A and B are shown apart, each in its own frame.
Chain A
């Protein structure tokens, strides 16, 4: 930046009047900021490293808290704990179903918000934003009161919803809650994608005789598909990791986080670390592979 003015021989006064680059800023730029960033990255990665390292721990007693030595036992029996396989199955099923549900509902809303003019757009935008600005505990708690009210005297939904659907709590109520909190995230992600999309492509298709449905499947959907895919990946990961809302609406059904929470009061089996490490390494592999593929496609 300062170098630019140097070849200009007719502007010596300006170069002279400018303050010399202060050494302290140079030190911050080239030394302090990168060092600080490295430390912060270490801070972010340390607990993950602990999780992976302790998945190989030959721990004594019930709690996998203190390092005792290396063993592969955990990785050889990754699901060997009562309740764990069921919890993982429930988690995967709910994550899958809530991803499908929220991706469809959220993509529809995203399409409506970006491609049509209609009254009440502001209110709809507000309604989409609210769940993201509400603490999870409030959402979980209010859903709990609603679900319980369907089974209790004097409740709002009592008599409206058949008994046994929403109360007692269980799989259905978890699924309802997960679709609910995922919708907003899907809308925001899909909207960002549709915003940069050329409407004339659709008009061209229609001018060439395609009806609206054909236009949607042949033109619109392929163009917004990457956005929908990103949104559904986000929804899946939010769903599979959710603990706070789920803890309010799960009743006696266990998802993986709920199962972990219920067991850590009495034991901390190495299987928790193993499953956590598997999920982590699997996610890293997926992201890494898709990056490599993209880099190849760009070449």
Chain B
């Protein structure tokens, strides 16, 4: 803060009221929002951990027994669902990158006056509800829906009993669709910032087109790749809507187990333990990933 222009205000007894308030200002500004996050984001995490080492039921209350039984159950009984989450989430993240990178590249470097319009279309799915988008996929992929019907009855490319709904393919397609904009936008932001003269310089220095792409464009796009893959992979890991609407009991992900244990079965300790394991796994994975890509400063 600038010092008041009139020196009269600083009394001999110490800092003036305004100076004292001025020093406290950042803390006063931070206090309400940070308190909200501490009480409703950090504290719940502790409560969830306490719940995961408690025993009891929703009707009789939970008692803190420091029992690790919930963790044993989580790690031994739900391997398939953890595996499904990792595989579906991983494949979907790779697919969003494979689709998103060329799109972001085209918009950033060849978009011209269509740039804003193309970006607008990329975020257009956000204007519809996540659930309704997923229901629309179900309509599209149903056995007698337009996609399968066309491939099977018109083009005869698929056998008569071909079906997509209920398979991992449908779940992965749904996740890929729902999180694609989260991949394209950070990639676009990173690519758009690249000075084209850097690529020209690389070409002038005898780099081939591919060499310039690999040695200049990709390294400069790393922050976008990091942000995009995290923004896609994390929600994909915890998602259960796609697996419920497009999948079958065989394609359950860990989110489905957490959801049903909490909301249908009332088995809080195991559900809390599963959530805690999921969160810890993600934190570890993200920090390793950040170290590998060398983009740690981005997260701060």
| A108 and B32 form a contact (CB under 8 A) | yes
Give residues 199-250 of B contacting A (CB, 8 Å). Answer: 200, 203, 206, 208-209, 230, 234-235, 237-241, 245
Which of A75-83, A144-152, A223-231 lies at the interface? A144-152
Chain B positions 246 through 284: 1 when the CB is less than 8 Å from some CB of chain A, otherwise 0: 000000000100110011000010011001001100110
The one of B37, B64, B124, B181 in contact with A183, judged by C-beta atoms closer than 8 angstroms, is: B37
Residues A44 and B27 in contact in the complex (CB < 8 Å), given A129-B299, A146-B44: no
- Residues 150 to 193 of chain A near chain B (Cβ within 8 Å): 152-157, 176-177, 179-180, 183-184, 187
What string of 1s and 0s marks CB contacts (under 8 Å) between A233-257 and chain B? 0000100010110011000000011
Query: A298 on the interface (CB 8 Å rule)?
Result: no
**In angstroms, how far is the closest chain A Cβ from the Cβ of B112?**
11
The reply to whether A156 and B50 form a contact with Cβ atoms under 8 Å apart is yes
A292 to B135 CA separation, bound complex (whole angstroms): 33
Query: A138 touching B144 by the CB < 8 A rule?
Result: no
* Minimum CB–CB distance for B216 against chain A, Å: 14
Question: Looking at chain B, what size class is its interface with the partner chain?
Answer: 35 or more
Chain B nearest Cβ from A35, distance in angstroms: 10
Residues on the A chain within 8 Å of B16, using CB: none
Assembled-state Cα–Cα distance A130/B45 (Å):
12
> How far is it, in angstroms, between the C-alpha of A134 and the C-alpha of B235 when the chains are bound?
8
What A residues does B136 contact at CB under 8 A? 46-48, 50-51, 54
Interface size class of A (residues with CB under 8 A): 35 or more
Q: How far is the CA of A127 from the CA of B35 in the complex (A)?
A: 11
Return the chain A residue nearest B208 by Cβ: A19
A279 contacts chain B at the CB level, 8 A cutoff = yes
Shortest CB-to-CB span from B165 to chain A, Å, is 11
CA distance A180 to B33 in the complex (A): 9
Cβ distance A152 to chain B, nearest Cβ, rounded Å: 5
> Which of B75-83, B101-109, B152-160 faces chain A?
B101-109
Contact of B198 with A by CB under 8 A: no
**Known contacts A40-B99, A206-B2; is-contact A260 B29 (Cβ 8 Å):** no
Q: How far is the CA of A243 from the CA of B262 in the complex (A)?
A: 15
**Closest partner residue, chain B, to A291 (CB atom):** B116
What is the predominant secondary structure among interface residues of chain B facing chain A?
A: helix
Q: Is the CB of A154 within 8 A of B47?
A: no
B129 touches A145 (CB 8 A): no
> How far in angstroms is the closest Cβ of chain B from A140?
8
Whole-angstrom CA separation of A105 from B127 in the bound complex: 25
Contacts of B128 in A (CB 8 A): 47-48, 51, 276, 279-280
- B residues in contact with A267, CB < 8 Å: none
A217 part of interface (Cβ distance < 8 Å) = no
What are 22 A-B pairs with beta-carbon distances under 8 A?
A33-B110, A34-B106, A41-B122, A44-B122, A48-B128, A48-B136, A105-B33, A112-B26, A135-B279, A138-B279, A141-B258, A142-B48, A145-B47, A145-B268, A146-B44, A152-B61, A154-B61, A179-B40, A241-B129, A244-B238, A247-B259, A283-B127
**Residues of A at under 8 Å CB distance from B?**
1, 18-19, 22, 25, 29, 33-34, 36-37, 40-41, 43-48, 50-51, 54, 64-66, 104-106, 108-109, 111-112, 115-118, 122, 124-131, 133-139, 141-146, 148-149, 152-157, 176-177, 179-180, 183-184, 187, 203, 206-207, 212, 237, 241, 243-244, 247-248, 256-257, 260-261, 264, 268, 272-273, 276, 279-280, 283-284, 287, 291
List 9 extra interface pairs beyond A124-B30, A244-B238, A260-B131, CB under 8 A: A41-B103, A45-B124, A46-B140, A125-B300, A133-B234, A137-B240, A143-B44, A183-B33, A280-B128
What is the interface of chain B, defined by CB distance below 8 A to chain A?
A: 2, 5, 18, 22, 25-27, 29-30, 32-34, 36-38, 40-48, 50-51, 54, 56, 58, 60-64, 99-100, 102-103, 105-107, 110, 116, 118, 120-122, 124-133, 135-140, 142, 144-145, 177, 180-181, 200, 203, 206, 208-209, 230, 234-235, 237-241, 245, 255, 258-259, 262-263, 268, 271-272, 275, 278-279, 282-283, 286, 299-300
